[in-house]
Amino acid sequence: MGRELRRVAVVGGVRIPFCRSNTLYADQSNLDMMAGALNGLVDRYGLKGQHIDEVVGGAVVTHSKDFNLAREAVLSTKLAPSTPGVTLIQACGTSLQSALMSAAKIATGEIESAISVGSDTTSDAPIVFSKKFSKRLIEAQQGKSAMDKLKAFKGLSPGELAPQPPAVSEPRTGLSMGQHCELMAQEWHIPRADQDVLAYESHRKGAAAYDEGYMDDLVVPFAGVYRDNNLRPDITLEKLASLKNAFEKSDRGTLTAGNSTPLTDGAATVLLASEEWAKQRNLPIQAYITYGQHFANNFVGGDGLLMAPTIAVSKMLDRAGLTLQDFNFYELHEAFAAQVLCTLKAWEDPAYCKKHMGKDAPLGSIDRSKLNVKGSSLAFGHPFAATGARIVANLAKLLSTKGGRGLISVCTAGGMGVTAIMESPTTIEAKAA
């Protein structure tokens, strides 16, 4: 006999401020930032000395020393050392995927509590030597005499000494994510002006959220930083329009540094639990995770690299018995303004929905006033693995104060998408009545 699934509560989440790469966190590692965000969560919800059944998360840009990142981060916090740490990577969907995996365990009764966490730094990105020079170093290390060690460097050319930065291109295509998104923008005929407007709105909404105090319990100080340094309260459409193309230099190019997320350092966390565990500790229940879905598309064969969430959402809506319009809030990760606009246009397109989702009618349009109402990645920045947890924590707070239902959509490298549905306690109670 099957067991009845339990509700999965989102107690809440916090993050450290996000900072542009090679600025205020230039000397911070993923371990530093992840531990800082976790300790912020511990302090916020009185978890000092508490055992959490699992902490799951990771980072996309890592050193080999980071193989046990989540566990090492736990040991750098005030959580009980009995708390396991599991390191997970799914590109930009990492911390949302980790939340969904832990949520499934809570729902089945395997665990009672979990923390989803993500961190990323491109300031501390690993830089390695060329393969040829690395081989010389190994041979020198293995040499028994000084002469043997010197022989390893015979014929050394200056070019071998050039460091190799981390790859930023998709291995299967050789194109960067920005180049892929530029192709999507061209395919879907997304104008530059529309992208700039979306970026402008994201910054204005994010700045307003700080000004009204909304971010006070979502962002914790770290390394002397109190606020995201990518946020531009004084941004103008005129300034955005003056920026040069970033990925396509011809007249066809529409993506710029202003309507694309910058390389960003930061970390975010979110606490999940069974209702019983939360109530026993007098912790709030801000929202519930009710559905999740991930999907991958054939981007190598021509599907847009960042379009997989469109299909994941469709599959998730079918399982939930909902339509795209049945939501009070939409949190669509703004990797690029063009990606969000391509997604919205695809859901409205009968041919796309028929081909990729098997739908006889399009999913339709959404009320744009419900989209990313407190700003999103274009404003705050995008530390790859941290973005999902940031969005879950933000949506949980929105639902706790406003009620209703929210949809999350996160695109990732590798042609994948991770999506989720969250609902407020009042909505859940109304359904149960």
Closest CA to 94 of 424, 426, 432, 414: 414
Active-site residue, from 203, 333, 356, 382? 382
Q: How far apart are CA 161 and CA 209, in angstroms?
A: 48
Q: How far apart are CA 387 and CA 379, in angstroms?
A: 12
For the four alpha carbons of 41, 46, 48 and 53, in that order, the dihedral sign comes to negative
Confirm whether 353 is a catalytic residue: no
Close Cβ partners of 351 (under 8 Å, ≥ 6 residues apart)? none
> CA torsion, points 327, 333, 338, 340, in degrees to nearest 10?
-10
**Spatial contact of 414 and 336, defined as CB atoms under 8 Å apart:** no
Place of tokens 């306690």: 425
43 CA to centre of own chain? 23
What pLDDT does residue 164 have? 64
**Spatial contact of 338 and 190, defined as CB atoms under 8 Å apart:** yes
Closest CA to 395 of 426, 419, 415, 423: 423
25 CA to centre of own chain? 18
**Spatial contact of 324 and 366, defined as CB atoms under 8 Å apart:** yes
CATH classification (class only), 177-213+289-432: alpha beta
Confirm whether 92 is a catalytic residue: yes
DSSP of 6-39: PPEEEEEEEEPPPEETTSTTTT--HHHHHHHHHH
What pLDDT does residue 166 have? 61
Active-site residue, from 92, 181, 342, 353? 92
For residue 194, the surrounding DSSP H or E stretch is: helix 192-211
What pLDDT does residue 143 have? 85
What pLDDT does residue 1 have? 47
What pLDDT does residue 338 have? 98
Check: pTM over 0.85? Answer yes or no: yes
What pLDDT does residue 165 have? 61
Confirm whether 342 is a catalytic residue: no
Q: How far apart are CA 209 and CA 64, in angstroms?
A: 38
DSSP of 320-336: HT--TTS-SEEEE--SB
Active-site residue, from 19, 181, 353, 411? 411
Q: What is the pLDDT along the chain (433 residues), one digit of tens a residue?
A: 467 899 999 999 999 999 999 999 999 999 999 999 999 999 999 999 999 999 999 999 998 888 899 999 999 999 999 999 999 999 999 999 999 999 999 999 999 999 999 999 999 877 666 788 778 888 888 888 888 788 888 888 887 777 666 667 899 999 999 999 999 999 999 999 999 999 999 999 999 999 999 999 999 999 999 999 999 999 999 999 999 999 998 989 999 999 999 999 999 999 999 999 999 999 999 999 999 999 999 999 999 999 999 999 999 999 999 999 999 999 999 999 999 999 999 999 999 999 999 999 999 999 999 999 999 999 999 999 999 999 999 999 999 999 999 999 999 999 999 999 999 999 998 888 7
**Spatial contact of 114 and 273, defined as CB atoms under 8 Å apart:** yes
